[in-house]
Amino acid sequence: MMIDIKQNNKGIKTGDIYKCYSPVLHNHLKREGFLCLDDGFNNETKKPYWLYRMTNALSRELILWTNNKNRQIK
């Protein structure tokens, strides 16, 4: 699997970025102390998104979020 390592206009490698489209998850990440790098709107859907630097800590938090979400659905 190849990861896109182009840099965006802020000098951040795109492979290092997590784009969040969930306002609920975005608020959770803010409460947990994760820093939102930027935000915007998807050109096609007009829905908001938030950009976070992908780190090991963020990856673990996303796994916990997914596991908890799956438990609530069942």
Residue 17: phi and psi, rounded to 5, are: -115, 140
With a cut of 50, say whether residue 7 has pLDDT above it.
Answer: no
Residue 62: phi and psi, rounded to 5, are: -65, -35
Q: What is the pLDDT of residue 2?
A: 33
Q: Within 13 Å, how many C-alpha atoms sit on residue 44's CB side?
A: 0
**Helix, strand, coil abundance in the chain, percent, nearest 5:** 40, 25, 35
- Strands ordered across the beta sheet of 36-41: 17-20, 48-53, 36-41
The mean per-residue pLDDT over the stretch 44-64 comes to 95
Q: What is the pLDDT of residue 73?
A: 54
Confidence of residue 14 (pLDDT cuts 50, 70, 90): low
Using a pLDDT cut of 70, give the percent of the chain over it.
74
pLDDT tens digits for 26-49?
999 999 999 999 999 999 999 999
Q: What is the pLDDT of residue 15?
A: 72
